C-alpha cells in the first residue's frame, strides 16, 4: 500500500542538532527511499509561525532558510513525489481551516495542552493561537496524509485531526477526508524511522531544546564547528567509567553514542560495539566531537552554495504541485457544505 507522509517544521527559532537528527534526517532518508506511489510532503507552516508574536521582518528569511536546511541535508528535491512548499502560498490551507473551524468545537480546542501552555499568563492571546490545531488539521487533511512524523507534544493535534475528519465524514455520510493513522501507528512508523530523541548535553534527562534556554546543552546547525566540538567535550556524562548504550543508567554517554552512530551512519549496535566497555570517556568524546565538527563544516559549506533564487524556483514548482493535490480536496468539501454545486 502506498503511503503519504507529511510534516511541517516551524519557521521560527534556530534549528539544532536534535531537530536535525530526530526530525529532518529521517525525512531526508524517506525522500530517497520512497516506494512507488508514496508521496512526501514537507512544508513550512509559516502561518503557524505568526500565531505568537515573531520578528516579522525576519520571517521570510527564516522560511527560506528552513528550506535551505532541508536541501543542504540532502532532501531529494528532484523526486517528483517530494513536495516542498510554504503553507501561506497554498490558499487552500487557509480556506479549509475556516471551513473546519465551523465543525470544531470551542470546548475541544480549549482543552489543547499546547494552547494552555502557550497562553498561560499572557495578557493578549491571539485567536490564531487558539485555532492553531484547526489549521494543522487542514494541513494534513488536504493531502490525505497517513503518517505525520511529529513529537509527542503534537499527539493531541493529530487526534483532533482524526476527530474532525470522522465528524465531517459522518455528517456528510461520505469519505471526504482520509483519516491519518492512529497515534500508536504513528509511533510505530516513527520508530521504524529511527525514533531518535537527542538529549541536552548539559542535562541528559532532558530533550535538546532552544539554545536560549540551554546554551551549553544545545548545538545549533549554525554554531561554529569548533565551538560545537567543545560543547561535546564538556557534555555531561557519569562516573561509571564504562561505555554502554543504557538510557537508564548512562543517559549522557548513550546520548553521545546516539549522536556518534547517526553522524557516522552506523546502527546503534555497531556504534555500541565500537566503544563498549571502554573507560576512556575523553577519547570517546574526542571522536564524537570530531564527528560533529566535520558534519557541521560540511553542512555549512553546503548551506552556503544554495542561493535564495534557487530555493524560490524550487518552491514555485513545489507549490504548483501542492495546489494540484489540495485544491480538488477543498472543492470536494465546499461541495458537501453547499458552497458550490460542481
Task: Name the residue nearer to ligand TRP (CB basis): 154 or 261.
Answer: 154
Which residue lies nearest ligand TRP, judged by its C-beta? 8
Shortest distance, position 150 Cβ to ligand TRP, whole Å: 5
* Residue count, binding to ligand TRP (CB under 6 A): 12
Shortest distance, position 4 Cβ to ligand TRP, whole Å: 12
Binder among 6, 96, 221, 229 for ligand TRP (CB under 6 A): 6
Task: Name the residue nearer to ligand TRP (CB basis): 135 or 263.
Answer: 135
Shortest distance, position 83 Cβ to ligand TRP, whole Å: 13
302 belongs to the catalytic site: no
Asked if 8 touches ligand TRP (CB under 6 A), the answer is yes
The one catalytic residue among 207, 216, 317, 321: 207
Task: Name the residue nearer to ligand TRP (CB basis): 149 or 251.
Answer: 149
C-alpha cell at 270: 555497531
Q: Which of 196, 189, 292, 287 is nearest to 247 (CA)?
A: 196
| Choices 133-141, 202-210, 231-239, 316-324 (CB under 6 A): range interacting with ligand TRP | 133-141
Whole-number Cα distances in Å, 186 to 2, 190, 340: 15, 6, 35
| Choices 4-12, 64-72, 285-293, 324-332 (CB under 6 A): range interacting with ligand TRP | 4-12
C-alpha cell at 236: 555531561
Task: Name the residue nearer to ligand TRP (CB basis): 141 or 229.
Answer: 141
Beta carbons of 337 and 99 less than 8 angstroms apart: yes
How do beta strands 4-8 and 82-86 pair? unpaired
Q: In whole angstroms, what is the distance from residue 161 CA to residue 337 CA?
A: 18
29 belongs to the catalytic site: no
The one catalytic residue among 29, 118, 178, 230: 118
284-289: Cβ within 8 A, 24+ apart: 284/243, 284/253, 284/256, 285/232, 285/233, 285/235, 285/237, 285/256, 286/233, 287/260, 288/232, 288/256, 288/259, 288/260, 289/228, 289/229, 289/230, 289/232, 289/233
| Choices 3-11, 235-243, 253-261, 267-275 (CB under 6 A): range interacting with ligand TRP | 3-11
Shortest distance, position 148 Cβ to ligand TRP, whole Å: 5
Write the binding mask 20 to 59 for ligand TRP: x where contact by CB under 6 A, - elsewhere. -------------------------x--x-----------
Asked if 129 touches ligand TRP (CB under 6 A), the answer is no
Asked if 136 touches ligand TRP (CB under 6 A), the answer is yes
Binder among 67, 140, 235, 289 for ligand TRP (CB under 6 A): 140
231 belongs to the catalytic site: no
Q: Which of residues 142-171 bind ligand TRP (CB under 6 A)?
A: 148, 150, 154
**Residues found near ligand TRP in the complex (CB under 6 A):** 6-8, 10, 45, 48, 136, 139-140, 148, 150, 154
- By annotation, the residues acting in catalysis are 118, 207, 210
Amino acid at each position: 500500500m502506498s503511503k503519504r507522509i507529511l510534516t511541517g517544521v516551524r519557521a521560527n527559532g534556530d534549528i539544532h542538532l536534535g531537530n536535525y537528527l530526530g526530525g529532518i534526517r529521517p525525512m531526508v532518508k524517506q525522500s530517497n527511499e520512497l516506494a512507488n506511489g508514496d508521496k512526501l510532503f514537507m512544508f513550512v507552516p509559516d502561518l503557524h509561525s505568526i500565531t505568537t508574536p515573531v520578528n516579522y521582518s525576519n520571517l521570510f528569511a527564516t522560511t527560506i532558510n528552513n528550506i535551505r536546511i532541508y536541501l543542504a541535508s540532502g532532501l531529494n528535491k528532484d523526486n517528483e513525489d517530494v513536495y516542498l512548499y510554504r503553507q501561506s502560498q497554498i490558499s487552500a490551507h487557509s480556506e479549509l481551516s475556516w471551513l473546519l473551524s465551523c465543525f470544531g468545537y470551542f470546548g475541544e480546542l480549549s482543552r489543547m495542552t499546547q494552547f494552555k501552555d502557550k497562553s498561560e499568563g499572557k495578557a493578549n492571546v491571539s485567536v490564531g493561537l487558539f485555532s492553531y490545531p484547526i489549521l494543522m488539521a487542514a494541513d494534513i487533511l488536504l493531502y490525505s496524509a497517513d503518517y505525520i512524523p511529529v513529537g509527542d507534544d503534537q499527539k493531541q493535534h493529530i487526534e483532533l485531526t482524526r476527530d474532525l475528519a470522522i465528524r465531517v465524514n459522518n455528517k456528510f455520510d461520505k469519505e471526504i477526508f482520509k483519516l491519518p493513522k492512529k497515534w500508536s501507528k504513528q509511533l510505530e512508523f516513527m520508530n521504524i524511522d529511527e525514533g531518535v530523541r537527542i538529549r541536552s548535553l548539559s542535562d541528559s534527562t532532558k530533550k535538546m531544546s532552544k539554545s536560549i534556554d540551554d546554551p551549553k546543552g544545545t548545538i545549533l546547525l549554525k554554531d561554529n564547528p569548533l565551538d560545537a566540538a567543545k560543547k561535546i567535550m564538556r557534555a555531561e556524562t557519569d562516573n561509571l567509567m564504562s561505555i554502554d548504550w543504557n538510557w537508564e543508567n548512562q543517559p549522557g554517554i548513550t546520548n553521545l553514542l546516539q549522536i556518534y552512530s547517526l553522524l557516522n551512519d552506523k546502527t546503534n549496535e555497531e556504534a555500541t560495539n565500537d566503544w563498549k566497555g571502554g573507560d576512556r570517556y575523553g577519547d570517546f568524546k574526542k571522536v564524537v566531537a570530531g564527528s560533529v565538527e566535520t558534519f557541521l563544516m560540511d553542512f555549512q559549506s553546503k548551506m552556503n552554495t544554495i542561493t535564495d533564487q534557487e530555493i524560490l524556483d524550487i518552491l514555485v514548482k513545489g507549490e504548483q504541485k501542492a495546489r494540484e493535490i489540495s485544491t480538488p480536496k477543498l472543492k470536494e468539501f465546499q461541495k458537501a457544505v453547499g458552497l458550490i454545486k460542481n
